[in-house]
Amino acid sequence: MLQKECFLKLLLLVVSLVVAASGADKFSRQDFPPGFVFGAGTSAYQVEGAANEDGRTPSIMDTWAHSDSVITSGANGDIACDQYHKYKEDVQLMAEMGLDAYRFSISWSRLIPNGRGPVNPKGLQYYNNLINELVSDGIEPHVTLHHFDLPQALEDEYGGWISQNIVKDFVEYADVCYRMFGDRVKYWTTFNEANIFSMAGYDLGFLPPTRCSSPFGYFNCTRGDSSLEPYLAAHNILLSHASATRLYRKKYQNIQKGYVGLNLLSFHSVPATNKTEDVIAAQRTNDFFMGWFVEPLVHGDYPEVMKKNAGSRLPSFTALESQRVKGSFDFFGVNFYIATYVKDNSEGLNIEPRDYKADMAVEWQFTQGNASSTNRLLPSFEIPLTPWGLQGVLELFKQNYGNPPVFIHENGQRTQRNTTLEDWPRIQCLQEHISVLLDTVRNGSNVKGYFTWSLLDVFELLDGFRSGYGLYYVDLDDPELRRYPKLSAKWYSRFLKGGGITPDGGIELSSNWSSLSSAQVMK
């Protein structure tokens, strides 16, 4: 206990020092351009619960969470935060906090239980209710169509994303969403973390649909092909995205006046040393990780280094496909948590067979010069803050990809769940990243908004309920699943309502907020 108090005091000190030390940290939301959006996010399977209710069928996320998944330690999203039943209360929390926007995803298998064909009226009703509730409180819905949760029915029928059959079904699903919700929803993201989904789902095999092949993969997969399938899935995702965007433009955009984009996770790679081969390795990592999707959308083809290293395992675009993929976006969504240091591993290119990761031919590290953390999924609990990496990612988009509109769709801090509501590390994370974001806006980056992950402590992909990123804690031991604001919710709210983040009276984390008792509800 004593230790914990000291720890908090230390962090408080760090936060106030950071704030006091530098004039650059003085900012408020009025410093951002008019219309700049601040929000928070979740995703369907991670927050909704009601997994088997009202006609919903399993997605590949359900199947994964119910398998002997080592990383979620037996937890699943059957109940999660029960937002399915508590959406009104959650929208109230958002409104009180002052969010401009809420980023959430639609569960395809709730809306269209067989993956294609009849729409489930109860699913339709739920998303209409949620969207209406948001709109009536002045909160803009930003909707994702696929957040790692393909209907299991389509996975079983033809292999999901590794089959080109998926394109038609995805476009039909998107059509239903545009038609039913597009009068109120203006921001559509086709795929969340298309790059991580392809890599973790089909090469390393630790996320759904957990496909990989020996000797690749973090666990022993029962099916898959790590050499081929990551590229195949990504290719079909790109074709699906392009077709869904094309449909929107032809049939809806003139009337609905909305936008379609694609979301990627960025690790922002920097060379671990100044050696030429490591500098090239960092560039190659950005090409494999970001360029994999961004280059086709911006230039109509994959990066040269991917074609070279993956050879014929990388599908190619026909002339017509290339033409249709190119330009098929109105914005990019970027999730950013941490920068990585990379080292060249080109010797790996002499080995056969190779997977996507071997083709990339680098070693990753989360902290500079620490080999023991190489290639780990995540550092334990708190993520080391590298806010300059956010600037790096936005510079990459500006300098290499024509400075397209970008939303930061996710950024946040991971803390051990249900230890304390005084989440200073999360406040520090928000403050440092929003500050850097302002610098990048001032330096000409075309960034339009910032969403923190996550609104609530949700079912987390990398460890179930052991950690949380939420502004709100959800008490899972309480049958009511009551929500409690963490200090970060107060901080964000103050910022959103125009409070200045300045040394004298800005953050003001000290006086009133720190005296909050742990159980005090925001009212």
Ligand X SMILES: *[C@@H]1O[C@H](CO)[C@@H](O)[C@H](O)[C@H]1NC(C)=O
Residues that bind ligand X (CB under 6 A): 219-220, 273-274, 367, 370, 372-373, 391, 395, 398-399, 418-419, 443-444, 476-477, 508, 511-512
For the CB of residue 428, give the shortest distance to ligand X in the complex, in Å. Answer: 19
Give the length of the chain.
Answer: 523
**Exposed, middle or buried: residue 192 (CB in 10 Å: 0-12, 13-18, 19+)?**
buried
Is 100 or 457 the residue whose CB approaches ligand X more closely? 457
Q: From the CB of 159, what's the least distance to ligand X, in Å?
A: 23
Please say which residue, 188 or 216, places its beta carbon nearer to ligand X: 216
Nearer to ligand X, 118 or 479 (CB): 479
CB of 353 to ligand X, least distance (A): 18
Does the annotation count 480 as an active-site position? no
Instruction: Report CA-CA distances (Å) from 90 to 76, 139, 281.
Output: 21, 12, 44
Q: Is 116 helix (H, G, I), strand (E, B) or coil?
A: coil
Between 345 and 418, name the residue whose CB sits nearer to ligand X. 418
Give least dist CB 434 to ligand X, A. Answer: 16
Q: Whole-number minimum distance, CB 41 to ligand X, in Å?
A: 23
Q: Residue 366: CA atoms inside 13 Å, Cβ hemisphere, count?
A: 14
Catalytic annotation, pick one of 155, 193, 229, 432 = 193
For ligand X, the closer CB: 180 or 496? 496
CA triple 465-436-191, angle to 5 deg: 50
The Cα 369–Cα 375 span in angstroms is 13
Query: What are the phi and psi torsion angles at 282 (to 5°)?
Result: -65, -40
Active site residue 96: no
On the 0-12 / 13-18 / 19+ scale of CB atoms within 10 A, 69 is buried
- Vertex 497: Cα angle to 494 and 503 (nearest 5): 45
Task: Match 């071997």 to its residue by tokens.
Answer: 358
**Whole-angstrom distance, CA of residue 374 vs CA of residue 231:** 24
Among candidate residues 140, 321, 410, 508, the one labeled active-site is: 410
Active site residues: 193, 410
